[in-house]
A and B are shown apart, each in its own frame.
Chain A
Amino acid sequence: MFENKELITDDNIARVKDLLVCMEKGNEEDAIEIIDELTTIRETDLYQDMGKLTRELHDAISHFGVDDSISLLAEKSIPDARERLNYVISKTDEAANQTLEAIEESIPICESLNKQASELHDSWNKFTNRELSADEFRALSKEITEFFKETNGLASIKEHLTVVLLAQEYQDLTGQIIKKVINLVGEVEDKLIGLIKLTGAPQLKNEKEDDSASLDGPPVPGIAHADTVSGQDEVDDLLSSLGF
């Protein structure tokens, strides 16, 4: 801690020699004076070191205080991020519901047109094979007219498809929002590392053990979890190994 290299100097050696001479001669007054001189030299070093330490501490503390980005993160950015992520949930929910609604309205139209077309096809085959009576043919031509009316449904399917198309805009919006949150997480990570270095807390070497009782949720590529299967085939293999 103390820098002693300044202690053994020619001046100090001369002082110690003088001190020895004074003491041997019984010259107490001069001896005390030399001891005082040496003590002062020693104390000056000590005070200088303490001064330096105090300044470093002061700088560290004031640097920490001046850098208000951490409190900005805690008070503003993180609550903002929470809002942004909630917005992502509501946008994706909305898009999924719009899409499902459009599909649920389209499916019955498709089924009905498909059924009618296949009935007409049967009748038409009978007609080309000359198996239809005149009355049956009149009925068929009525059915064909009806079918053309029903094909208006195709226009509404097209509208539904446009709804599905537009609903996909969520991908762009939520993508941008999530990117911002990813940047924020990176920033928080940097600040935390800085804080750990500053406080000198030992870095944890062991990762927290995987809590097997908790549910992992959907698997994410790039994030490995111990003892998981990947995909339906592996589930099936595991279950069949258990006798399923």
Chain B
Amino acid sequence: MDTDMKILVVDDFSTMRRIIKNLLRDLGFNNTDEADDGLTALPMLKTGKYDLLVTDWNMPGMQGIDLLKAVRADENLQNIPVLMVTAEQKKEQIVEAAQAGVNGYIVKPFTALILKEKLEKIFARIG
């Protein structure tokens, strides 16, 4: 995995953003930015040349699923890999995320190992 890649972490809880950032740093990814919901994330994605989006689902403003749909609908962003990290465990929602084009789905609480595995899987597919 290219550890220089630029990653945007979106979650409304600052502690969760901090945990994810620390885990990513531990995996060698130091180039990370944060946003607290879809509405702040989307303009950042449009200007920031990000290589990966890690997003929560349940957030005020714009939810993660809508952010994912907006990313897939934008021709400049549609190929960004998106990893969803969420407490939502309804089958219907997982299916919805899959249909909207999510690249990985992690349910909270999660471990450092699961994050590593999912990232490796995403980048192995993309090649």
- A and B are interacting partners: yes
Residues of A within 8 A of B (CB): 93, 96-97, 100, 103-104, 107, 212, 215-219, 225, 227-232, 235, 238-239, 242, 244
Which are the 4 A-B pairs with shortest beta-carbon distances? A218-B87, A96-B15, A228-B89, A227-B91
* CB within 8 Å for A229 and B91 given contacts A215-B57, A215-B58: yes
Q: Are A216 and B95 in contact (CB under 8 A)?
A: no
From residue 54 to 104 of chain B, which have CB atoms closer than 8 A to chain A?
Answer: 57-58, 63, 87-95, 98
Chain A: minimal CB distance from B80 (Å): 17
Q: Are B22 and A235 in contact (CB under 8 A)?
A: no
Q: Are B89 and A216 in contact (CB under 8 A)?
A: yes
Chain A: minimal CB distance from B11 (Å): 13
Residues of B within 8 A of A103 (CB): 22
Residues of B within 8 A of A (CB): 14-15, 18-19, 22, 25, 57-58, 63, 87-95, 98, 105-108, 110, 114
Measured in the bound complex, the distance between the Cα atoms of B95 and A229 in whole Å is 11
Residues of B within 8 A of A216 (CB): 88-90
- Nearest to A96 among chain B residues (CB) is B15
- Nearest to A103 among chain B residues (CB) is B22
A103, A217, A225, A230: residue with the most chain B Cβ atoms closer than 10 Å = A217
Chain B: minimal CB distance from A225 (Å): 7
Q: Are A232 and B106 in contact (CB under 8 A)?
A: yes
* CB within 8 Å for A229 and B107 given contacts A100-B15, A215-B88, A238-B95: yes
* CB within 8 Å for A232 and B107 given contacts A97-B15, A239-B98: yes
B63, B98, B107, B110: residue with the most chain A Cβ atoms closer than 10 Å = B107
Residues of A within 8 A of B19 (CB): 100
Residues of A within 8 A of B14 (CB): 97
A-B contact pairs, 7 of them (CB 8 A): A97-B15, A104-B18, A107-B22, A227-B92, A228-B90, A229-B91, A239-B94
Residues of A within 8 A of B89 (CB): 216, 219, 225, 228-230, 235
Chain B: minimal CB distance from A180 (Å): 25
B90, B98, B110: residue with the most chain A Cβ atoms closer than 10 Å = B90
Q: Are B91 and A238 in contact (CB under 8 A)?
A: yes
Chain B: minimal CB distance from A99 (Å): 9
Measured in the bound complex, the distance between the Cα atoms of B92 and A218 in whole Å is 15
Q: Are B95 and A232 in contact (CB under 8 A)?
A: no
- Nearest to B105 among chain A residues (CB) is A235
Measured in the bound complex, the distance between the Cα atoms of B52 and A92 in whole Å is 30
Residues of A within 8 A of B93 (CB): 215
